[in-house]
Structure 1
Amino acid sequence: MTNTTCRAMIIDDEAWIREGLSEHIEWEKLGIELVKVFQDGNEALDYLEKDSTDILLSDIRMPNMTGLELVARLREKARNDPSSKLSQIKVIFLSGYGDFKYAQEALRLGAVDYLLKPADVEEIEIALMKAKALCKQDGEESSALTTVEPVEEPSSYLIKKALQFIQVHYAEDISLSHIAGELFVTPNYLSRLFRQESGQVFSDYLSRIRMDKAYAMLVDSNLKIYQIGEAVGYPNPRYFSEWFQKNAGMSPGDYRKRNA
């Protein structure tokens, strides 16, 4: 498998931003192919009705069609055609507006991240790696569905939702209490159900997800170790290294060298 596993598009009405994102983000090192750049949502929608992409890096406010309107249209088309790849597109919004309503709507539409302009290149690259990891996960799940042996899934709807939440938000400062609040149940009930359905406690499951993501980024990207720590939920570089050493039996640097 080649390092390039995801295709991405940029949508922004300002030419200097389109050019900056195209030129300054190290797409090849991230293992992401930049396939198209558009100046508004209408152009992007026309393209996506004929071709596909994995990641959208989009402005929110644009003439003709906003980024939020574009993603809402894509989600609607995906609902009408469950077999469509539109449902698997990962979205990262860039916006010059700090209004909470925009962020709230972005999250409702399933955005991977919502970044305020001017965002640092490193910040954008971390968001892109999160999106790429989700793309890779979707591909692995699709492959698993074609195997002869059935894939065992948790039977509880609540646990399915909890696992989905962890997969999307593993890089954030999340807790079992936080997820319980999202699902409108008590932490004690969710903790008991989580152990019963998954066979693990929440903290162990979250740690395993973060380790898997860290392993992949150390091998598949040229991101600095502290950037990988941030991308998997440990913004303190020293803590990330100590945590990784404890779980892997070696430092992040040594793991990268051994698996290069």
Structure 2
Amino acid sequence: MKTSGCRAVIIDDEAWIRDGLSKHIGWERLGIELVQIFEDGMDAIAYIREHPVDILLSDIRMPNMTGLELVAAIRELAKEHRSLSRVRVIFLSGFGDFKYVQEALRLGAVDYLLKPTDVEEIEASLAKAKALRDSRDQPGPADDEDRMDPAEEPASYLIKKALGVIGSRFTENLQLSGIADELSVTPNYLSRLFRQETGKSFSDYLSDLRVERAAELLKSSTLKIYQIGDAVGYPNPRYFSEWFQKQTGMSPGDYRKRHAI
């Protein structure tokens, strides 16, 4: 295969899936080089330590190391090898369990596709991952605590910590009072400092992050609308639809029709 500069690996414990993905995806047409195929996350980590990789196409449920554990391990490695912070991840899973979707979002996954998945859907997600890799302006799996532009990064250690908590736990029922308690400050003080340093209230910042992730999932994933709502912290489908329309001016269904990749 012709080298493109954008390198991808496949990790899946089922041989027929590995074979199908390697043979039926239009890798060269997408401008992506498939460099390795693994059946085990541990083997993939050993390879990634030594070889630069841009995209991971990984199953969730695998023996020895799950896809989620794999990406969590990459986050740790990225603390010493900064280039790993820009690895883009696409998860494939036969499990629609919300906890997997939520954890995938926390880890900065580009997409979460439920098996069986059409080749066209996988290729669309790969194209999106490559575009993000080329632009280098979106957070990868190790960048959740660095969402702000360095020039706009708040000076306050407290706000840096607060943003880190929001970035890693935005799918939960997150409250300013709870974060303030974790940081040993009063909610009023944290609220005032948060607005002063980010230009937004806590609730607006959290809402903006959630709508950004919901919009991405509506555009590129195969998840049901109610699953997306639950995955970004709104388990009530009606409330999620009303909230999303208020934020974007469109219902989730209309947004998906207009922006689907």
Q: Does 1:45 align with 2:46?
A: yes
Hey, what does 2:238 align to over in structure 1?
A: 238
Are the counterparts in 2 of residues 38 and 44 from structure 1 also a CA contact under 8 Å? no
Q: Does 1:139 align with 2:136?
A: yes
**Whole-angstrom CA distance in 1 between matches of 2:199 and 2:76:** 36
Are the counterparts in 1 of residues 229 and 240 from structure 2 also a CA contact under 8 Å? yes
Superposed CA RMSD: 4.5
Alignment gaps of 5+ in structure 2: 1-5, 26-31, 112-128, 140-148
Hey, what does 1:210 align to over in structure 2?
A: 210
Q: CA deviation at 1:212?
A: 1.7
Q: TM-score, normalised by structure 2?
A: 0.60
Are the counterparts in 2 of residues 234 and 240 from structure 1 also a CA contact under 8 Å? yes
Residue identity over aligned pairs, in percent, reads 46
**Whole-angstrom CA distance in 1 between matches of 2:182 and 2:176:** 10
Greater shift, 131-140 or 40-49, is seen at: 131-140
Hey, what does 2:258 align to over in structure 1?
A: 258
Q: Does 1:181 align with 2:158?
A: no
Q: How many residues align?
A: 212
Q: Deviations over 1:202-253 (max 9, x none)?
A: 1111111111222222222232211211221111111111111222233111
Compared CA separation, residues 189 and 158, structure 1 to 2 (3 A): same
Q: CA deviation at 1:54?
A: 4.9
Hey, what does 2:248 align to over in structure 1?
A: 248
Give runs of aligned pairs for residues 81-160 of structure 1, distance below 5 A: 81=81, 84-88=82-86, 120-123=95-98, 124-125=100-101, 127-129=103-105, 131-133=108-110, 139-141=136-138, 151-160=151-160
**Whole-angstrom CA distance in 1 between matches of 2:95 and 2:223:** 14
Query: Matched residue of 1:140: which SS?
Result: coil
Query: Matched residue of 2:243: which SS?
Result: helix
Q: TM-score, normalised by structure 1?
A: 0.60
Compared CA separation, residues 166 and 7, structure 1 to 2 (3 A): farther
Partner amino acid, structure 2, of 1:252? P
Q: Deviations over 1:92-116 (max 9, x none)?
A: 9xxxxxxxxxxxxxxxxxxxxxxxx
Q: CA deviation at 1:159?
A: 1.1
Compared CA separation, residues 88 and 244, structure 1 to 2 (3 A): same
Hey, what does 1:107 align to over in structure 2?
A: none
Alignment gaps of 5+ in structure 1: 93-117, 143-148
